[in-house]
Structures are given as C-alpha cells and as structure tokens.
Chain A
Amino acid sequence: MLLIPVELVNYFLLFHRPIQVMTPALKFSTLLISLLVLALVLVLLGLCAGSSGFESLGILIPGHLAHDLMVNIRLPRTLAALSGGALLGLAGAVAQGLFRNPLADPYLLGSASGATLGVSCALIALGGVGLHAGWLVRFGISGSALIGAWVGVILSVFLARGFQTSYRLLLCGVVVGVIMGALCSALGILHPQMLQSLQSFMMGSTLFADIQSSWLMFGALAIAILWALRYARALDALSLGELTAKSLGVDLTQTRAHFIGILSLCTGVAVSQLGLIAFVGLAAPHVVRNLGQVLYRDLIVLSSLCGAVLLLGSDIVARSIIGPQELPLGLVTALLGGLYLLWVMNDHALGVSGE
C-alpha cells in the first residue's frame, strides 16, 4: 500500500535535516511567468491528450468531432489536476515551513490515513459498490474522505494537547497515522470486497473529478493562499529557530494553529476529490527553493503553481502514455517524485558533508 512509504517519510523527517542545493537564483517574476506559461501549455496539452491519443488543437472549436469529449471529460480532469496540484503544492510549502524540515509532506498529521479510513467506512456502508456508481455514491465517498482527513488532524492535535510544541504534534501525527492505518487494515480483513475500490482511491486519479470538484478546489485554494500569505512572515521568522521567532514577537501557538488549519483545508479538499497523491506536496516546494525562492510570501505562491504544473504534467502522462489504458495518477507522481528525490540526494552526497 502507498500508505506505508508516506508514514516512513513522516518518521524519517523527525530526525533527518538535509540542506538544499542552491543554483543561481531566479527572480520571483521570472519564475512566476515561466510557471504560468508552462501551466497554460500543459492545459492545452491536457485538453488534446487522452485515451485516444493526441489530437490537434482544433478540438477546441465547438464543431469538432471530439469537442464534447474535451468539454465533458478532459476539461474537468485537466482543471482538477491543476487545482488539486496547487492545493498540494501550497500544503507542502506550509508543512515544510511550519515543521522546519524539507522532508515534510502535507499528509503528516494523519490526514492520509484518516481519509483512507473514512473511505473504507463509506465503502462498507455503501455495500462495496465500485467507484463507478452514481454521483451520490461518489459524493458520499468524497465527503467521507474529507471528514476522515480532518478527523485525523483533529485527533493528532488533541493527542498532542494543543499546538504547544512542533515535536509533539509530529509524533502524535505519526501515531494517529499508524493507528488509523491499522484500523483500516482490520476493516480490510473483515470486508475484503471493499479493498479493490479502496485501492483505486489510494492510487489517486482525476477520473472521478467533475467541474464541481474544480470549483471546490479553486475556491479552497483562493482561501488558503490568502490565509497563508497573511501569516507568511511568521514562517520566515521560524526558519531561524523557534526561540528566535518567539523573541521576535511571533506567537508560536497561534501561528501553528493557523498553519495547521491551512494544511487541513488543502489536503482534505484535495484528497476528497483526487484520492491520495504522493510526492507532489513534497517536491513542489523543493523545486521552487532550488530555483532560488525561499521567502515564504514568494514560496507560497510559486509552490502552488509548481504543484499545479507537476500534477497536471503527471496526469497527462498517466492518461496518455499507455493509451487507451490509464496509469494510476498516484503511481506516476510516486515514480517521478521518487526519482527526483534520488537525484537531489545524490547531489548532496557529492557535496561537503555536515555543511
């Protein structure tokens, strides 16, 4: 199950603190424009690519044969990948800033396992129907995923007795994740018929996303970005150490509460619409930081955009590379993300250690 690597990464991040490799810095505006252009190109690509292979840009004209296909299937999926990726990129940047660890990902407070447990319960309650059933079923599953994710985070915060220390929060997040994962496995043994559908959820996909999903995700994104930008300066101060931030007047408890709220909003909404998508949240902030942007007011916006680009790119690959079949989206992101991390770690191994 993909859940185990996610938990291992969470455990690993408690002790390991690598330093980023810096290439010459690009200006914020340059990076912003480049990412926007890339996003636009990918959107066009996404509208043209699909299970029947690539079609020309003529598909955008209403008279075209495949135009309806484009509007009803590819457009919602493309927009979902864009908005979902943005949510995950933003959440990743927030998680890495709040816990001051470049290996943090958005799922670290039990939201992934919570969502999975929620979906398992829903699948059992709905009598083990496939995810191909009607919209009510899909709504029930999305809703359970969202509630499950939020329950996971609330439980972690409750166990940690509030927002007082980062270390305690992280530890409780891991504990909650493991316990919920175990409960989920137990449910799987008792009701094996739901396992296949659960597996599809955990692999992640844009298959079940419709236009409403994108509206929801873009809405959540707008709220989350404004909310995060409001407290971004506190994250910068935190990079110098918690006591230093406190000595500068940062209210640590309040800051943590706000950012965990932002994290839950982003991951909950993204997971409910797209399932579990690994590595986008982890990699997007890294890519942006390696291109020279580390101030959080810049990192928040660019990381979102980068996440959107990464997920949309992965979705296009997933949809078209072995057409007419589809690769699971989570698989593609995990592969690409894993390769990227390997490459980054290799770079560090050649550098001076202990720096």
Chain B
Amino acid sequence: MLGNVCVKSPLIEVQDLFVKLGSKEVLQGLSTRFDSPKWVSVIGANGAGKSTLLKAIASLVPFEGQIHFNGISLKLIKPLERARLVSWMGQTESRLSGLKVRDVVMLSRYPHRGRAQLDSDCDEEEVTRALDRLHVLNLQDQVFARLSGGEQQRVLIARAMAVRAPLMLLDEPFAFLDPPHQAELVTTLREEVLQGQCVITVIHDLNLALQTDWICLLAKGKVFFEGSSDDTLTHRAMEAAFDHRVKVVQTQDGWVCLTQ
C-alpha cells in the first residue's frame, strides 16, 4: 500500500504545472489536488488546458513542475508501474484498429503483464467485467474499426476501466453517446467511484458536469475555481468563467445549466 498510515497524501497533487505544446504555453502554473474516492470533472472553455492537464498526469507530455501520486513524484515511477496506477482514455486517439473488441480491451492488461503473450484467467475476468459494465459484451467478437462511434466510445472506456487503476482519466467520455447511453455511463462511473476509484473526466456538457462530485474549472492554463458540484459558489464561478452566457438553476431533479 503506497503512502504513510499517519498522514494521508492526496491521490494526485499537482504543483506549479507548466506545459508547453509547440510554442504555446498551455498550462501556466496550475496547482490542484484530487482525493480518492471522487468523481472530478474538469471543465472550461476551449483551449483552457483540460486535455493537457490529463495528459500531464498520465505522463504523456513533458511538463515542468511537480505531480505526486500518493506522495511519490510521478517522474520517479517506472512506466509500467505508472500505467498500473493511472489509466487514460484520449479524445482523439486512433479508431482504425482492426483488432476484435475483446482484444482491444485485453490490451488494458498490458501494464500488468508486460510483453507476455498468454493472458491469465484473471485478465479474462477483468476484460469480461469491463465489457459487461459498458454493455458491449455482445460486441466482443466484432472488429473495432467497423463499430459505430458510440459503440467504439464504450469499448474504449471499457479498455480504460479494465486496467483497474486507482486513478482513471477519461477525456470526453460522453462524446458520441446518445442520451440513454450517457445516463448509463453516469451510473457506471458512479458505481466505480463507490468502489473506491478516483475518476477524473474532461466534460464539455455542463449538465453532465453538474452530476459529478467535484468540479475543477480551468481558465487560461490555471485553476479558476474548484468546488463541490452542489455548491452555489461553484455555480456562480461557472457562470463567471463562461462570461455569464450560462445560468445554473435548480430543478426538481437536480441542477441544470442553461445557455443564454
């Protein structure tokens, strides 16, 4: 078990994060922390640095500053070990793979198995569980590239989930999904969090963001505001960050974000 028994370190602690992509300074001194178990949504205007933040935590882009996982610097953790602790699903990754759906999700076991070719029973179980949770078990023998956008999206989320990492980073998981599947995904992610997982999602749809536990609002490469999704201060911050072109109101079923 990582971490000290007496002092509980946050799962992820980011300090003064600077990330430069090409010639653009995308993240400019971002600092935040996320605890487990929690469902965090990272929101903000286009170009605020949301995807980049997730990529930095997954060590996929070079960065300056400190990112600690349970008190240990990410730079000190070896790639396979880090892959077992942090699972990532990207927004613009390739969807042309000719592999079967089951084989795609089986790749999630790579951090646990390395280059070994034969998969154990444990791996098979995890893959079946993930396929089942995302309701794509019936598609497992189909070719990934020939699925519809929504089906591919659910397979990719299953792939990220089957890693069973304590931290799961999902970039725009609700993209391509129709409303019923979006609702199913909300339920599935909530269940994962209840089982102790920390999930950080980048979300464009503010209504979906309001259904998560914690909102991290980014603007211009820094954290603009962080707070619980129920808190009115968070709602006012959201309205301010989007130039008051949105309004958060209460309805019978919860909070809703209206555009004006």
Listed in ascending order, the chain A residues whose CB lies under 8 Å from chain B are 17, 19-20, 22, 100, 229-234, 236-237, 239-241, 243-244, 246-251, 289, 294-295, 297, 355
Contacts and interface: CB of A to CB of B under 8 A. Distances in A.
A246 to B, nearest CB: 6
Contacts of A234: 115
Contact of B96 (A19, A236, A289): A19
A239 B98 contact: yes
Contacts of B219: none
Given A234-B115, A240-B107, A247 B98 contact: no
A236 B99 contact: yes
Contact of A248 (B97, B99, B108, B116): B108
B80 interface: yes
A100 B93 CA distance: 12
B80 to A, nearest CB: 4
A259 B45 CA distance: 41
11 contacts: A230-B115, A240-B94, A246-B60, A247-B60, A247-B87, A248-B163, A249-B80, A249-B82, A250-B110, A295-B103, A355-B145
Interface in B48-73: 55, 58-60
A200 to B, nearest CB: 38
A295 B114 CA distance: 16
Contact of B116 (A17, A233, A240): A233
A226 to B, nearest CB: 12
B93 A243 contact: yes
B3 interface: no
Interface residues of B, number: 38
A248 B90 contact: no
Given A233-B115, A239-B99, A246-B59, 11 more contacts: A22-B146, A229-B117, A234-B115, A236-B103, A239-B94, A239-B98, A247-B58, A248-B83, A249-B111, A294-B99, A355-B146
Contacts of B110: 233, 237, 248-250
A206 to B, nearest CB: 33
A241 B99 contact: no
A229 B100 CA distance: 20
A249 B110 CA distance: 8
B146 A247 contact: no
A77 B218 CA distance: 67
B104 interface: yes
B93 A249 contact: no
B4 to A, nearest CB: 26
A73 B196 CA distance: 70
Contacts of B87: 247
Given A246-B60, A249-B79, A239 B116 contact: no
Contacts of B108: 248
Given A232-B117, A236-B103, A247-B88, A289 B98 contact: yes
Nearest to B148: A355
Nearest to B106: A236
Contact of A240 (B93, B100, B114): B93
B97 A240 contact: yes
Nearest to A17: B96
Given A20-B98, A22-B143, A243-B60, A231 B103 contact: no
Most chain-A Cβ atoms within 10 A of its Cβ — which of B80, B83, B108, B115? Answer: B115
Given A22-B146, A249-B111, A100 B94 contact: yes
A231 B110 CA distance: 12
Interface string B152-164: 0000000100010
Contacts of B113: 233
Contacts of B96: 17, 19, 100, 239
